[in-house]
Amino acid sequence: MMKILKALFSSDYGMLGALLFLCVFFSSITYEQQQPVGEEGANQLSEEIIEKFPVAGTVLIVGKKGVDGNAFVEGIRKRLTREGWEIKGALTGGPPEFGRALRNVFETNSSLDLVACEQFFAQLPVVENLRKLNPASSEMRVMTPKSYGWPNFLKASNLLNVANQIAVIAILAIGMTLVIITAGIDLSVGSLIAFSAVLATWTIREWTGGVDASVFGMTVGCALAMLASGGLGLFSGAMVAYFNVPPFVASLGMMMVASGLAYMLSGGLSIYQLPASFDWLGRGDDLGGIPNAVTLMAVLYIAAHLLMSRTTIGRHVYAVGGNPEAARLSGVPVKRILLWVYASSGVLAGLGGIVMASQFRSGDPKYGLMYELYVIAAVVVGGTSLSGGRGKIFGTLIGAFIIAVIQNGMNLTGVQSYTQKVVLGMVLLAAVLLDMLKKRGWKLQE
Amino acid sequence: MHALKGVDFDLNTGECVALLGENGAGKSTLIKVLGGAHEPEEGMIEVEGKERRFSGPLDSLEAGVAIIYQEFNLVPGLSAAENIFLGIEPSNYGWVRKSEQNIRAMETFQRIGAEIDPKILCDQLTIAQKQLVEIAKALVRDAKILVMDEPSAALTKKEVEQLYLLVDDLKSKGIGIVYVSHRLEEVERLADRAVVMRDGERVGELSREELSRGKIIELMVGRSMDREFPSHTRNIGKVRLRVNSLRRGKKVRGVSLEVRAGEIVALTGLVGAGRTETGRLIFGADSREGGEIELDGRKLELRNPSDAIKEGICLLTEDRKEQGLILGLSVQENFGLPNLERFSRSGWIDQKRERASFSRFVEQIRIKISGPAQLAGQLSGGNQQKVVLAKWLERNAEVLIFDEPTRGIDVGAKFEIYQWMNRLADQGKAILMISSELPEVLGMSDRILVMKEGEVRGEVENGEGITQEKLIALAIGEKERAA
């Protein structure tokens, strides 16, 4: 057992094992009976009805208010009409509407063979009461979609939700991974989210048309925000590369500057004068139901992985982090690499800010508070060494997902948000501990 | 892989046994076992007839075994006395009796003839003084066995002499000494016996009478070597590298030199004479305050190492672990670092080409590695130097500056490095060899420049009549010789 665990954690992407374990764990404790909803439920129930009733009869169709309920009711109505059923009613609503509809049917003395409804309605006392009061209803059957067992955690909608919620942190974590591989740290990324979100939305409101802004206008605002964030990153990089300011201090200063700029620009208020289409990036799902932010994250990770493993820049970044003097004496432009790395972190933080602004369709100087810490946590959990020179891009993605899965799993199982913080902190410590053990060759004592 | 395979080792009271072996022979592992840093899988350790188990440094100290590692274990911000008594401070209810501590430290220093103020902070001590503090630290803990790992490696000539006297003195006081060294002449001077290791095994023992360089080398390498330096004939051409009154601060004060095609020029002198600094200036590693560098008659503007590399100048640094290699990267990645533009197209590295080229050198230079993905930090000194050499050979450098090319390298690999230097000279390259090993200077170079206080004080053609004594006289300077 220990051997398997060691082998798992020893590989480059050691935390993948931890992520899989978490997924299995949360799947098993969120396993419950699921009701098919919407079209899926409609199809399943219709098939069953047609099978059970060789002759068409009369039916009342009931679903809950909302998108799923509408789809459910509409789906069954269409199908059964085609089969020659007489539709006595097709409605969405709550228990009162349902009760009224039932009474209506029996008060007009017509018969009703079937109630096709969602699980929720079948259990209501109104059905039992009706059977007692009205003998004509004794022949009536109530049918609901068949339930099946499936973990809440593993539902496609939940998994996409996990990915969508971590997208901003994961995008920032790419830049942070580069910075940490050079043995630095960038504390300014959280504030840069706010700065970029505010600058993009402010530009759109003030200059490129506000609510009526065109796609071009929005692009200009976003590009400007990313460039400016990159500029601020570049400035931190220059402090580190040319003046030997410790990265912690340089980026701490930039963190305050960026946050202050965001408040100044917005006057401390949200900026929401944006076109409706501004939420395309944050809320749209153009690629087979996958949120656009998740697609963007995936593309960025693949690009960053290729950059770090296949290009001269990537090799140089590792070299600078491993030993800057040896790298310099081997002809690596150390200062330029440092500048580039901090600028990239800035641009990516800017992009994260735009995704967030798009998710909320507004820009607010309070965005991204404490995000730098989650981002650093993701990088560290992903196995990148804070002493530099070592780390993998996909390791960071795994680290981000570990954090997201734990948060989501705890939400699903109703763990309090205060407790969640404690757990996340422990996970971070455990990850660092594992890393230390790995370096020492699995000895508890040196 | 076992670093040690059933090694027997014994030491008598008041005896000095030299522990010899090439890098990777298992000496360091043996020391770590004695120091309690590693636990042996099999076998046992007896001290004064009693079997002991060393599962931590404290265990071995308690048994009377003290290790003095190359990297000292001193806390820089504490005083000499505080370091000596670290963990065993004389105290009353947790309050350290400072004056007693200082007095006892003073007494210990006197015993070993050291003139060190007990109150001085350790980061203000010289390397030799730090070593003495370590020895004092061992003595106050009643060590009966002192294991010294290459104690003379970083000392000046004078300090080394004092160390020898101290070793003799400790011996006479009944302390047994295990002396690990690469320098064969000091083994001849100090050791009562020498134990030679190779590939984790003890391959032989030489008594005081049998000790000779030839015998030692033969045992260490496992074959007989008639000579330490490969023979060569030189075909020296035009001047390739010309340096004119190079200066930077107090370390380099107007150095001029020339290296011709096919020539090996040695730059020697005492530690601190400005040799390494001169090399770094030619390579553009530091910015120069004045002077000119010409390659093949063309003036060069070198602002950083990358400029120098582009012009075909390269530097093999004296400190490979800190400056030559990135220990956390693989050997292949280290090899590729200055050559990436040759292996890449618009930024994309062609890893197949890189690997192919690297494996060619692995074969040619005979680098012992488990594979191209092995981390550079896992190699022995000799193999690390070979990786460094490979990266500059691929670069096809025209001027090669070797700074202490064989420091910390075992005898076998030394010979191979020398062969490569000769081969490069034969190809018409210009080679500047910075070295403080006088036998190496005499054995390899065609011309010798001696530096002192940032200036070239003497230049001699190598040949008959040039002896180590003459070079030392030049390095020390006329004034001191007169006095």
| Beta-carbon contacts of residue A157 (< 8 Å; ≥ 6 apart) | none
**DSSP classification of residue B337:** G
| Maximum separation of any 2 CA atoms in chain A, in Å | 96
In total, chain A counts a number of residues equal to 446
Q: What is the pLDDT of residues B130-174, one digit of tens each?
A: 989 999 999 898 899 999 988 887 787 888 888 899 999 999 989
Phi, psi at residue B226, to the nearest 5°? -75, -25
Chain B CA closest to residue A331: B306
Please judge whether A330 and B322 are an interchain contact, meaning their C-beta atoms are less than 8 angstroms apart: no
Q: Chain B contacts of A443, Cβ < 8 Å?
A: none
Chain B CA closest to residue A311: B348
Question: Measured between alpha carbons, how far apart are the two ends of chain B, in Å?
Answer: 56
Q: Chain A contacts of B282, Cβ < 8 Å?
A: none
The more confident residue out of B225 and A359 is A359
Measured CA to CA, the distance from residue B422 to residue B229 in angstroms comes to 10
Q: Chain A contacts of B327, Cβ < 8 Å?
A: 322-323
| Beta-carbon contacts of residue B350 (< 8 Å; ≥ 6 apart) | B343, B344
B351 in reach of chain A (CB within 8 A): yes
Question: Is a pLDDT exceeding 60 seen at residue B35?
Answer: yes
Q: Chain B contacts of A322, Cβ < 8 Å?
A: 326-329
Q: How many Cβ atoms from other residues are within 10 Å of residue A390's Cβ?
A: 21
Q: Chain A contacts of B346, Cβ < 8 Å?
A: none
Place of tokens 């505080």: B82
**DSSP classification of residue B448:** E
Q: Chain B contacts of A329, Cβ < 8 Å?
A: 283, 285, 305, 315, 317, 323-324
Measured CA to CA, the distance from residue A442 to residue A247 in angstroms comes to 31
By a Cβ cutoff of 8 Å, what residues of chain A touch chain B?
310-313, 315-316, 318-319, 322-323, 325-333, 389-390, 445
Measured CA to CA, the distance from residue B11 to residue B27 in angstroms comes to 15
Instruction: Say which CATH topology domain A156-439 has.
Output: ABC transporter involved in vitamin B12 uptake, BtuC (1.10.3470)
**Beta carbons of B455 and B254 less than 8 angstroms apart:** yes
Measured CA to CA, the distance from residue B30 to residue B38 in angstroms comes to 9
What value does the mean pLDDT take over residues B308-331?
A: 92
Q: Taking the C-alpha atoms of A364, A370, A376 and A378 in order, what is their torsion angle to the nearest 10 degrees? A: -80
Q: Where are the alpha helices (DSSP H) in B239-380?
A: 275-282, 305-311, 331-336, 340-343, 351-365
Please judge whether B340 and A312 are an interchain contact, meaning their C-beta atoms are less than 8 angstroms apart: yes
Of the candidates B324, B336, B469, B282, the one whose C-alpha atom is nearest the C-alpha of residue B408 is: B324
B328 in reach of chain A (CB within 8 A): yes
Q: Where are the beta strands (DSSP E) in B22-86?
A: 45-47, 50-52, 65-68
- B239-482 has CATH 1.10.1740.10 classification: no
Of the candidates B120, B97, B117, the one whose C-alpha atom is nearest the C-alpha of residue B109 is: B117
The pair of three-digit structure tokens given for residue A395, joined into one six-digit string: 């390791």
**What architecture (CATH level 2) is domain A38-146?**
3-Layer(aba) Sandwich (3.40)
Chain B CA closest to residue A312: B347
Orientation of helix B351-365 relative to helix B381-394, angle to 10°:
120
The pair of three-digit structure tokens given for residue B444, joined into one six-digit string: 């390899």
Please judge whether B328 and A323 are an interchain contact, meaning their C-beta atoms are less than 8 angstroms apart: yes
User: The domain B16-221: what is its CATH number?
Assistant: 3.40.50.300
The pair of three-digit structure tokens given for residue B253, joined into one six-digit string: 């004060």
Beta strand B145-149 with B65-68: parallel, antiparallel or unpaired? parallel
**DSSP classification of residue A58:** E
Of the candidates B130, B131, B128, B133, the one whose C-alpha atom is nearest the C-alpha of residue B155 is: B128
DSSP characters over A286-335: TBTTB-HHHHHHHHHHHHHHHHHHHBHHHHHHHHHHH-HHHHHHTT--HH
Question: Is a pLDDT exceeding 60 seen at residue B483?
Answer: no
Chain B CA closest to residue A325: B323
Q: Which of A326, A331, A445 sits opposite B326 (nearest CB)?
A: A326
Please identify among residues 370-429 of chain B the ones whose CB lies closer than 8 Å to any CB of chain A: 391
B472 in reach of chain A (CB within 8 A): no
Q: How far is A47 from chain B (nearest CA, A)?
A: 57
B325 in reach of chain A (CB within 8 A): yes
Measured CA to CA, the distance from residue A193 to residue A259 in angstroms comes to 9
Chain B CA closest to residue A333: B306
The three-state (H, E, C) secondary structure of B194-250, written as one string: EEEEECCEEEEEEECCCCCHHHHHHHHHCCCCCCCCCCCCCCCCCEEEEEEEEEECC
Q: What is the pLDDT of residues B67-118, one digit of tens each?
A: 998 878 888 889 999 999 988 888 888 888 889 999 999 999 998 888 899 9
Q: How many Cβ atoms from other residues are within 10 Å of residue A276's Cβ?
A: 8
Q: Which of A310, A313, A330 sits opposite B337 (nearest CB)?
A: A330
Task: Report CA-CA distances (Å) from B401 to A315, B202, B309, B453.
Answer: 25, 37, 12, 20
Task: Parse chain A into domains and list their residue ranges.
Answer: 38-146, 156-439
Residues of chain A whose pLDDT is less than 70? Answer: 1-13, 109, 442-446
Measured CA to CA, the distance from residue B353 to residue B372 in angstroms comes to 13
Q: How far is A196 from chain B (nearest CA, A)?
A: 30
Q: How many Cβ atoms from other residues are within 10 Å of residue A67's Cβ?
A: 10
Measured CA to CA, the distance from residue A351 to residue A403 in angstroms comes to 21
Place of tokens 């940032």: B454
Chain A CA closest to residue B315: A329
Q: Report helix, strand or coil for B10.
A: coil
Q: Report helix, strand or coil for B53.
A: coil
B204 in reach of chain A (CB within 8 A): no
Strand order in the sheet with B252-260: B252-260, B239-248, B290-295, B298-300
Please judge whether B328 and A327 are an interchain contact, meaning their C-beta atoms are less than 8 angstroms apart: no
CATH 3.40.50.300 in chain B is located at 16-221, 239-482
Residue A104's pLDDT is 83
| Beta-carbon contacts of residue A306 (< 8 Å; ≥ 6 apart) | none
Q: How many Cβ atoms from other residues are within 10 Å of residue A216's Cβ?
A: 10
Of the candidates B136, B134, B135, B106, the one whose C-alpha atom is nearest the C-alpha of residue B118 is: B106
Please judge whether B325 and A389 are an interchain contact, meaning their C-beta atoms are less than 8 angstroms apart: no
Q: How far is A178 from chain B (nearest CA, A)?
A: 16
Of the candidates A149, A153, A114, A125, the one whose C-alpha atom is nearest the C-alpha of residue A35 is: A149
Residue B254's pLDDT is 92
Q: Which of B56, B323, B328 sits opposite A390 (nearest CB)?
A: B328
Phi, psi at residue A401, to the nearest 5°? -70, -35
Please judge whether A310 and B349 are an interchain contact, meaning their C-beta atoms are less than 8 angstroms apart: yes
Q: Which of A312, A319, A331 sits opposite B329 (nearest CB)?
A: A319
Orientation of helix A393-412 relative to helix A156-181, angle to 10°:
140
B338 in reach of chain A (CB within 8 A): yes
Q: Which of B305, B329, B347 sits opposite A331 (nearest CB)?
A: B305
Measured CA to CA, the distance from residue A364 to residue A358 in angstroms comes to 11
Give the gyration radius of chain A's Cα atoms. 28
Please judge whether A331 and B306 are an interchain contact, meaning their C-beta atoms are less than 8 angstroms apart: yes
Chain A CA closest to residue B285: A329
State the average pLDDT for chain B: 88
Q: Chain A contacts of B337, Cβ < 8 Å?
A: 315, 319, 327, 330-332
| CA-CA-CA-CA torsion sign (A206, A208, A214, A218) | negative
Task: Tabulate helix, strand, coil % of chain A (nearest 5).
Answer: 70, 5, 25
Q: How far is A180 from chain B (nearest CA, A)?
A: 15
The pair of three-digit structure tokens given for residue B250, joined into one six-digit string: 């107090």
Measured CA to CA, the distance from residue A356 to residue A194 in angstroms comes to 9
Of the candidates B98, B66, B65, the one whose C-alpha atom is nearest the C-alpha of residue B81 is: B98
Measured CA to CA, the distance from residue A193 to residue B19 in angstroms comes to 61
Q: Chain B contacts of A318, Cβ < 8 Å?
A: 326, 328-329, 333
**B270 band by pLDDT with thresholds 50, 70 and 90:** confident
Q: What is the pLDDT of residues B418-450, one digit of tens each?
A: 999 999 999 999 999 999 888 889 899 999 999
Q: Chain A contacts of B306, Cβ < 8 Å?
A: 331-333
Please judge whether A332 and B348 are an interchain contact, meaning their C-beta atoms are less than 8 angstroms apart: no
Of the candidates B317, B203, B91, the one whose C-alpha atom is nearest the C-alpha of residue A326 is: B317
Place of tokens 């996990």: A162
Please judge whether A332 and B336 are an interchain contact, meaning their C-beta atoms are less than 8 angstroms apart: no
